[in-house]
Amino acid sequence: MTDSPRQVAQRPGGRTARVRAQILDATVRLVARHGIAGFRYEEVAELAGVHKMSVYRNWPDRDVLVGEALMGVAEEMAPLADTGDLRQDLVDFLVAMATSLADPWGRALMHAIQSSPESAEVRRTVDTVIDRRVDLLRRRLDSAVGLGQLPPVDAQLLADLLSGPVHLQVGRDQRPFTRADAERITDVVLAGVRATTP
Amino acid sequence: MTDSPRQVAQRPGGRTARVRAQILDATVRLVARHGIAGFRYEEVAELAGVHKMSVYRNWPDRDVLVGEALMGVAEEMAPLADTGDLRQDLVDFLVAMATSLADPWGRALMHAIQSSPESAEVRRTVDTVIDRRVDLLRRRLDSAVGLGQLPPVDAQLLADLLSGPVHLQVGRDQRPFTRADAERITDVVLAGVRATTP
């Protein structure tokens, strides 16, 4: 048996790889719409335009299916540049984060992040996403601290202070998240960190 | 026909009122577990220990069922005291918010808040919850501004800055939310608001 799912996935041009990509994409859309537990394999198959058995055969475990689908989302998350201008880079980061949280992939991820998933598989994906965001911030902050632009600060706390309000506002969906919103959040948080860190 | 659901609900001791309360409670638990779209009436009936027809008869529209169930949660949300000590009151508020977000009712509410519900009924509940939180904060802030303890500040922005990190940390569920967490968030946000508001 050389036709295991993982090996098949490594043949990007093949029909099987295409089917897998369609299934993962459909899964993300359904999680975005109904939450992690709120979709059926039949719906995935229908939305992906494949036979139900293709879903069951490749992902007999639904938590593995959700985990793998969300991991694909995580890999395309907002980047964090280092131009030397910390405020500018953080504002860009928050704007990109808001944009990606507002699309179906981001909505799926918000569902997963906010729902304390019971499945170890989905939990692992959520942890990876959060760790990646904190790592991105930590590297950017280390550079700012090195340049004396910022006192040493807990990257996890700063990540939550910056991205928490973005999550809430995008989730609320009452008006678009603007660059001015990102600037106000960044300014308050940076000033607050500078004023409270010894 | 005097036996409409609303009138029945006003007889707190009656069997029908008890059945309704059990159904609303079961709905909240299922939304907490599976999201707004992720449960079936059969499950509600089973968890509530009532016949499926009791659910259908009282709430033919599932969005009304979810909206009403969540509204009950909203009414028991974290209070915000005014002791004259703004920092203390906000820390208490965040600790109470974290506690209520971590229970099944809070999880249900987080699902609703984070998922930009498409249903007008659920959307109205979410808006009510958020408006109430912002109103609580606005009244407390007005008092602090009046005493010269704080510059005039956008209550919605402050609500997001304070509660966003709480939502993220409670949703992540990696460790308990502590009073020290509430203090750090409050201190950074208050210092940031003071430093950036003209």
Find all residues with CB under 8 Å of A50, minimum gap 6, and list them. Answer: A19, A22, A23
Chain A residues within 8 Å of chain B (Cβ atoms) = 33-39, 107, 110-111, 113-116, 126-127, 130, 157, 160-161, 163-169, 171-174, 184-185, 187-196
Of the partner residues B36, B172, B188, the one whose CB lies closest to the CB of residue A193: B188
Q: Rounded distance, CA B4 to CA B35, Å?
A: 29
The residue count for chain A: 198
The amino acid present at A139, given as its one-letter code, is R
Decide if pLDDT at B34 tops 70.
yes
pLDDT band at B13 (very low <50, low <70, confident <90, very high): low
The stretch B28-36 carries a mean pLDDT of 80
Identify the DSSP state of A117: -
Task: Compute the distance between CA of residue B11 and CA of residue A41 in angstroms, rounded to an integer.
Answer: 43
Measure the CA–CA gap between B82 and B90, rounded to whole angstroms.
9
DSSP state of A151: -
One of 2.60.40.10, 2.40.50.140, 3.10.580.10, 1.10.10.60 is the CATH number of B5-69, namely: 1.10.10.60
What number is the average pLDDT over the span B160-185? 90
**What is the separation, in whole angstroms, between the first and last Cα of chain B?**
61
**Is B191 in contact with A189 (Cβ distance < 8 A)?**
no
Asked if residues B71 and B125 have their Cβ atoms less than 8 Å apart, the reply is: yes
| Residues 6 or more apart in contact with residue B57 via CB below 8 angstroms | none
Confidence band, pLDDT 50/70/90 cuts, at residue B3: very low
For residue range B103-146, list pLDDT tens digits in order. Answer: 877 777 776 766 555 667 777 777 777 777 788 888 898 899 88
Question: CB pairs below 8 Å between A and B: how many?
Answer: 144
Residues of B whose CB is below 8 A from A188: 157, 161, 189, 192-193, 196
Q: What is the pLDDT along chain A (198 residues), one digit of tens a residue?
A: 333 333 444 445 688 888 998 999 999 888 877 777 778 899 999 999 999 999 999 999 888 898 888 877 766 667 789 999 999 999 999 999 898 888 877 777 776 766 555 667 777 777 777 777 788 888 898 899 889 899 998 888 998 999 999 988 887 777 899 999 999 999 999 999 999 987
Tokens of B114: 């984070």
Q: Tell me, what's the pLDDT at B129? A: 75
State in words which class domain B73-196 has. Answer: mainly alpha
SS3 state at B116: coil
Q: B168 to chain A: which residues are within 8 Å by CB?
A: 113, 160, 163-164, 167
What's the pLDDT score for residue B82? 92
Q: Pull the structure tokens for residue A99.
A: 């944009």
Nearest CA to CA, how far is A14 from chain B (Å)?
A: 34
Distance from CA of B186 to the nearest CA of A (A): 10
Q: Is A49 left (phi over 0), alpha (psi -120 to 50) or beta?
A: left
Give CA separation, B83 vs A142, B140, B144, B145, B159, in Å. Answer: 40, 10, 10, 14, 19
What's the pLDDT score for residue A71? 79
* Cβ atoms < 10 Å from Cβ of B191: 18
What CA–CA distance (Å, rounded) separates A84 from B39? 49
In this structure, CATH architecture of domain A5-66: Orthogonal Bundle (1.10)
Question: What pLDDT is recorded for position B4?
Answer: 39
Question: How many angstroms separate the CA atoms of B1 and B77, rounded?
Answer: 35
B contact test, residue of A116, A128, A193 with most B CBs within 10 A? A116
- Domain limits of chain A? 5-66, 73-196
Residues in chain B: 198
Nearest to B158 by CA among B93, B107, B114: B93
Both structure tokens of A28: 């993300």
ipTM exceeding the 0.90 mark: no
> Measured between alpha carbons, how far is A31 from A110 in angstroms, rounded to an integer?
10
> pLDDT at position A44, please?
94
